[in-house]
Amino acid sequence: MFEPAQVAHLSRLARLGLTDEELERLRAQLGDIVRAVGKLAEAPTGQVDPTAQVGGLYNVMREDRVVDGLTQDEALANASSHEAGLIRVPAIQ
């Protein structure tokens, strides 16, 4: 149901870095799962509105007031690499 190239594309979109072997295993499992959730096509959803969230809250606002956040040290504490108060990552290209 999924072409190998299609699963490789999804893996690339999601930045999963999967190996060929992992992609092949995932391809079979994904096919089974998508076939199963295909059951949705039978549901009588003609005039039904979608539900994205439950609980009925809408635009919850708070006062626009400055509060303390993390210090710079706290915010950097878990980064694998940082320098001069900034997180260090490899170049984009």
Partner 1 sequence: MSLLDLSIAEMARGLRDREFSSVELVEAAYQQIDRLDGELGAFLRTTRDQALAQASVCDRELAVSPDGRGELYGIPVAYKDVLCTQGVETTAASRILSGFIPPYSATVVERMESQGAIALGKLNCDEFAMGSSNENSAFQQTRNPWATDRVPGGSSGGSAVAVSARMAAATLGSDTGGSIRLPASFCGVVGVKPSYGRVSRYGLIAFASSLDQVGPLTKTVADSALVLGAIAGEDPHDATSSQAPVASYQDAIGQGVSGLRVGIPKEYLAMGIEPGVRRVFDQAAQWLEAEGARLVEVSLPSTEYALAAYYVIAPAEVSSNLARMDGVRFGPGFGGATNLGDAYEHARHQGFGGEVRRRITLGTYVLSSGYYDAYYLRAQKVRTLVAQDFERVFSEVDCVISPTAPTAAFRLGERLADPLAMYATDLLTLPANLAGISGISVPAGFSDALPVGLQVLGPYLGEATCFRVAAQVEAAADIWRVGPETAGAAEEGV
User: Which residues sit at the interface with partner 1, rule CB under 8 A?
Assistant: 7, 10-11, 13-18, 22, 26, 29-30, 32-34, 36-45, 48-55, 57, 60, 62, 70, 74-75, 77-81, 87, 89-93
For the four alpha carbons of 39, 44, 46 and 48, in that order, the dihedral sign comes to negative
Neighbours of 23 (CB within 10 A): 19
Closest separation between CB of residue 41 and partner 1, Å? 7
Identify which of 35, 39, 26 has the alpha carbon closest to the alpha carbon of residue 1.
35
What is d(CA 1, CA 14) in angstroms, rounded to the nearest whole number? 20
Closest separation between CB of residue 14 and partner 1, Å? 5
Nearer to partner 1, 15 or 83 (CB): 15
Nearer to partner 1, 74 or 83 (CB): 74
Q: List, in order, residues 6 or more apart from 29 with CB less than 8 Å away.
A: none
Closest separation between CB of residue 17 and partner 1, Å? 3
